[in-house]
Each structure stands twice: as C-alpha cells, then as structure tokens.
Structure 1
Amino acid sequence: MLDPELLRHLRFRAATAGSLVLGAGMIGMASFSPAMVQLGYGRGLWAASLPAVAWAGTGVVTSLLVRRIPHPLEGPRPVALFLVVVAAGQLLTWGLDAGSPLWRVVLPFVLAGLGTGVLNSLLGREAVAAVPPDRAAMGSGANNTARYLGAACGITLFVTVATHTGADLYAGWNHAALVAAALTLLGAAAIALSPRGA
C-alpha cells in the first residue's frame, strides 16, 4: 500500500505523475505503430517494427548517457520539460496520409525516444530519492505501478481513437496522435504548476 504522506513531497508527486503520463501518452502510441505501418502502408513485419524500435532504442541509449550529465537533473521542471520533448515527437506524427514516407513516422519516434530515455532515468531516481530511505521500495513500486496503469489506459485509448474516428486508418492515427500529445502536454503543465507540499 502507498503511504498517502508521500504525496506531500513535490518530487515524488512529479515522478509518479510523470510515469503515469508517459505511460498513457507514449506507450499507447508506440504499441499501435506497428499496426499503423503494416495495415496503413502495407509494409512487412520488419518495416512495421521500425518506429517502435527507433523509440525504444533511442530511449535506452539516452537513458545510459544521462549519467554523464555533470549537473544531475532533479525536481519537477526537468520532468515537465522532457514530457514536452515527448509531446513534440508525438505531434510530428500528425498529418500522415497514404503518400507519407516511412521516415515521417520513424524520425518523430526518435525524438520521442530522446525524451523518454531521459525520463526513464529521471523518474525512477526521483521516485526513490524523494522519499525517506525506509520508503524507497514503496516509492519505486508506486512509480512502476503508475507507469503500467498509464500504459494500460493509454493503449486502450489510442487504439479506440485510432480505429473508431476518421475516414481511414491515417485519419484515425492523426486524431489519436493529437489526443496522445494533448495528454502528455497536460501532464507536463500539471507537473510544472504543481504546488509545493510540506
């Protein structure tokens, strides 16, 4: 169980909300991208996996390089900032149609991967550093739970919007991309403007 007192810590709230938003906004989009490329563009499995691989691969490399930054990132502002980077990548996928080249999907996912990689490193550390030492496991568990809860909701929302709005899959993707980016930006704004706790 989560100790409600932990929510009084601004850094813990930012880390938990950041994980929830990243899961809801980006993981749903990445999960649906292979279907979009395969069904929308008629590409094979390898091409269909490129956007998600570009996102995940960039995220892994970036998260490993973050430790080389001389000034550690901490607090809600970097969380909000890199959520905006993720949202920028999401927005760049808007406007796809049958004539769009595959790189129009892949490159935005690379940008989103940069933001995701920094957040992957930052959010886990913040969730543990922002709580008392004897609550470190609780902080880490809450962070992971928020990420997967957000992902479950985000995948459902993205697939529903993409497949039930618009005249075709491209239009559905464009609507879903706007919804995902809006969620990410709203989360970034909420984190940036979150009042300080005790």
Structure 2
Amino acid sequence: MITFPKNNIEKLVEKGINSKKEFDLFFKSHYTLFLSFACRYRLNTEEARDIVQDVFTSFWEQREHFNSILTIKAFFYRAISNRCLNHLKHEDVKSRYAERQLQEMQSEEFIQENIIREEVSLIVRRKVKELTPREREIILLSLQNKSNQEIADLLSISVPTVKTHKMHAYARLRTELEELRFLLLIL
C-alpha cells in the first residue's frame, strides 16, 4: 500500500471532522481536488460544482460516522463518482427521450393528427361562439373544469339554470357538429 506524508490539515482532521472549523479547513483544502475529480467525468464545471457541493452537504449531515481522514476521502471519491455517473446516465436518458420525441414529431402521422386536432378545435370554437352569450359563458367555464355550483356562484344564477343552459348548449353543439363527428370516425 502506498502511503503519502500527511499534511497539516490531514493531521488536524485525522480522527474525523467534528467541528465547523475542521470542516471549513477540509473544504478549503480539498474542494478544488474533488472538483477536478468530478470534471474528469466530462461534466461541465457548473454540474461538477453542484455535485461536489452536494457531497460536502451530505458528508456534513453524516460526519459522525467517519473516524479517519481515509474513510472521509474514500466517501468523497465514491460519492462524487456515483453522482457523476448517475448524472451522466440521467442526461443519456433525457437525450434518448428527446431523440424519440423528435422522431415522432417528424412522422407524417404526428403532423396529420395535429392538423386534424387544430382544425377540429377551430370548428368547435366557432360553433361555441354561435351559442347565446350565457350558454357560451357557461360552456367555457365548464371547459375550465368548474362545477355547476361554481359556475352558478360565479354568474349569480341557480344550479338548475346552469344545467339547463348546458343541456341546450350541448344539444346545439351536438347537432351542429354531427357531421364533424362522422368525419372523425372515418379518419
């Protein structure tokens, strides 16, 4: 086993890091070293800083479990390594997901489906505009997931009145959009 001469800081914290002063000294003397280690995983400097900072925080929260400078350093190297690898794996998953999304968005089916959705939405909005002002107002509030009671309270009308306006509006929309429904079934 290779042994290196201990520096003053390592001698100071040889039995562990139990005080804020020892932690600050350890941080100041090892932060750059751990940051350099994290950067070897081809992370950008900001990502590496975040990881090293997280490991320092994690260490501080469990510092009483470490009884020597060697176990402390081993913890830091292993924790930084694991977090860097997890970060890279996560980035890889995000990249593959984005790639799949892009491929899907370039497909003819995706384009056609979205054209149909937009056109249907336009037709429905036009038909909703043709409703009476009160019916339109109630339908739009209903589309915002408002309950009949909430709509009644907002418009200062009774719940049965809300239900009646909804019933009339939906009946008109069904009649006016019947041919659209038939076309959508064919597609």
Give the TM-score, by structure 2 length.
0.29
Q: Which has the higher contact order (CA 8 A, sep 6+)?
A: 1
Structure showing greater radius of gyration is: 2
